[in-house]
Amino acid sequence: MHIGSDEGAIREVHSSWIDAVNAGDLARLLALMTDDVVFLNPGREPIGQREFPNGFLIGHQRSWIHCVSEIEEVAVFGEVAYTRCRDSLCVKPRAGGEATELAGHRLTIYRKQPDGHWLLARDAHTLSPVSR
């Protein structure tokens, strides 16, 4: 990869994050976020690492979730970086019924750790239902 090593590492973290979301792999997600992570979701209060697992697990128990995330921009500024992505999410109830399609954009801020790894520190999205 001829992309800057930090940019390449951030793209790998992003890809690992999406793979873990789709696999329902909470342990891997927790390993990819900072202790002080903050998630901003439309219409809800911000949540941190402590609140994240419950919502994630309930979501995956109730539904099959598949996310596709296309990075549109990566910028690195020393020990901080961000990605801007176009996301689509399909949520299909395990009990049966219609799948819900969501789409929107996501802005994620990463922080470089002392060991050189990049972790997700802040995340905000505009996902909303797709009208059919």
Residue range 35-88, pLDDT digits in tens: 999 999 999 999 999 999 999 999 999 999 999 999 999 999 999 999 999 999
Q: Is the pLDDT confidence value at 95 over 80?
A: yes
Alpha-carbon span 11 to 101, nearest angstrom: 25
Q: What separation in angstroms does the CA of 10 have from each of 15, 51, 71, 111? A: 9, 24, 10, 10
Specify the pLDDT at position 131.
84
Across-strand partners of 66?
90
Number of domains in the chain: 1
Report whether 50 contacts 33 (CB < 8 A). Answer: no
pTM score, whole prediction: 0.93
Q: Which domain holds residue 81?
A: 5-129
Give the strand pairing for 33-40 and 118-125: parallel
Report whether 124 contacts 87 (CB < 8 A). Answer: no
**Phi and psi for 126 in degrees, rounded to 5?**
-120, 25
* Eight-class DSSP state of 55: H
Specify the pLDDT at position 1.
39
Q: Residue 76 corresponds to which tokens in the numbers above?
A: 């690195």
Q: Is the pLDDT confidence value at 3 over 70?
A: no
- What CATH number did the domain enclosing 67 receive? 3.10.450.50
